[in-house]
Amino acid sequence: MNHPFKPTLLAVLIASSIGLVACQPASDKTADTQAAGAQPAATAAEAKTFIDNASKEMAALLIEANRADWIASNFITEDTEALSAAVNEKMTSTVVRLANEAARFNTITVDADTRRQLDKLKLALTLAAPKDQAKTAELAEIVAKLNAMYGKGKYCKADGSCMALGDMSSVMASSRSYDEQLEMWKGWHDTAAPMRPLYMRQVELANEGARELGYADTGALWRSKYDMEADAFAVELDKQWTEVKPLYEALHCHVRAKLSEKYGADKVPLDKPIPAHLLGNMWAQSWENIYDLVAPENSDPGYDVTKLLADKGYDELKMVKGAEGFFTSLGFAPLPETFWTRSLFVKPRDRDVVCHASAWDLDAKDDVRIKMCIQRTGEEFSVIHHELGHNFYQRAYKDQPVFYQDSANDGFHEAIGDTIALSVTPKYLKQIGLLEQVPDESKDIGLLMKKALEKVAFLPFSLLVDQWRWQVFSGQVQPEQYNQAWWQLREKYQGVSAPVARSEADFDPGAKYHVPGNTPYTRYFLAALLQFQFHKSLCEIAKDDGPIHRCSIYNSKEAGTALNKMLEMGASKPWQEAIGGLTGTPAMDSKAMLDYFAPLKAYLDEQNKGRNCGW
């Protein structure tokens, strides 16, 4: 889940924790310049010229930055890290300068396209620094410190041995010892406590900058990126959650009962939230690692994709070629030769590389690549389809202006990758010759359970992270309530609780990277819902009238044409138009997810009869 891609153009700065912009409000700048007689009022023609020049400058700079980042990820040395840091600092300062210049046109009447590009530029950065230079410097320093604190976090035992997050996460995934999982959970969460005072100050500074830009607070700024009123967007999220909540509650009830059988009702009471350390994941955000504890009886589908790949002689390159074949079957042009010569598919023996799967677009034209240390497993076969989904999206919008070379909203890119992966079904495996026979529908419950532990379990967590931040930014949650409010939201949305007593001396939100890293999280909630809506619409276009969870759009040129039409739009139009073109409705619709998991919901309801659900 959340396999990242290397974004094109300004999207790279949305994820950058050092993306700070200090702008004077338009009215202040106008007053200042008029008083000084320094320059005449801006014009619409000047705005268009500014956007044209800014586009050229950013296009050139982003190629430089992407190349430096690629080298830094594939040849990890102090020198490559320094080169990457230098060019990213240069890029950040350039966007800060351009955003300040763009603010000059805030009150000028311009055509809709120019206004949208100006807005995309100004909203590209995550934190708005105050115009006071000393405060801007202070905020940048805090951002860097928080990132470093997270990256250096370790749990050291009494014997002096220390464990990093990756090691602890592996234990959490595989251990079935209540106490060992608790030790890992507490060990990691305790590392975040020193972040609290820095985070408090960061909120103050970022809010000051947001207000200077005309936003109520930083949360309102973030919500303004979605082509609708900030408060209306928050209401829409709540509406979607309300619709999928019964499915989550049914899954929660069944999982809690199985965990209670495993660990005892004294440790997992059947009428209370689930202790957060027992779900196989450090943040209890996805639960697929405990599938063995909750799997339905006789749910083995009768095949193992990892074994099938080995039996058919699939090596790493053939796995990627197979995934490319999925897209060419839809009518997309094959990947360019440079993709095959410049991508990283196998972990090199002679150097360290960043192995986490990612998709890259280096030049906003045709230089797309993936970077993976591919393992010959069924899971990785799916991941490759996901990553190529990003690449084909990147290539589809390459002809858009530079500020539109991104997905329709920040949830779309992940949603597209996951949409493609949803088509890696037994039917598809049979079509490409990996599987001899598609199992009958009696085997679907196990497959759906495994997918629900990943995707349905993730929904409330993907929503609450920003719910907490928005309340912090708005002042609804004060610093002395940080941890209390975090766990109130965890219990309200997820039905999970801290496994040991926590206090305001702790800062458990900081144990999740995206909080100290200032990465908005609502994108993952959007992606989790949109992928099923996209998948269902594409299945209908492909005229696959079977159950949605069994559908694959492989070989459907009609589905490929509809998909490509949406991808080509990039960020040029509001996301509601992008989704409307594919699905026929300009709104998100959770019903597709409910339809997908309908057989599992019926199974869960049967299992939960007589159980006390809820918390």
Query: Is the distance from CB of 53 to CB of 83 less than 8 angstroms?
Result: no
Amino acid at 200: M
Region at 39 (left for phi over 0; alpha for psi -120 to 50; beta for the rest): beta
Provide the sign of the torsion angle of the four alpha carbons 96, 102, 104, 107, taken in this order. negative
Listed in order, strand segments (DSSP E) in 18-138 are 20-21, 127-128
Provide the sign of the torsion angle of the four alpha carbons 62, 64, 67, 68, taken in this order. negative
End-to-end CA distance of the chain: 27
Listed in order, strand segments (DSSP E) in 372-426 are none
Q: Kindly list the catalytic residues.
A: 356-357, 386-387, 390, 414, 514, 524
In our burial notation (b when 16+ CB lie closer than 10 A, e otherwise), range 26-64 reads beebbeeeeeeeeeeebeeeebbebbeebbeebbebbee
Closest CA to 371 of 2, 1, 6: 6
Closest CA to 601 of 166, 156, 127, 252: 252
Query: Is the distance from CB of 254 to CB of 608 less than 8 angstroms?
Result: yes
Q: For residue 221, report the phi and psi dihedrals to the nearest 5 degrees.
A: -60, -45
Residues 6+ apart with CB under 8 A from 426: 301, 303, 435, 438, 439, 550
For helices 557-568 and 522-541, angle between their N-to-C axes, nearest 10 degrees: 140
User: Please, what is the Cα angle at 291 between 252 and 515, to 5 degrees?
Assistant: 65
Q: What is the CA radius of gyration of the chain?
A: 24
Query: Is the distance from CB of 279 to CB of 263 less than 8 angstroms?
Result: no
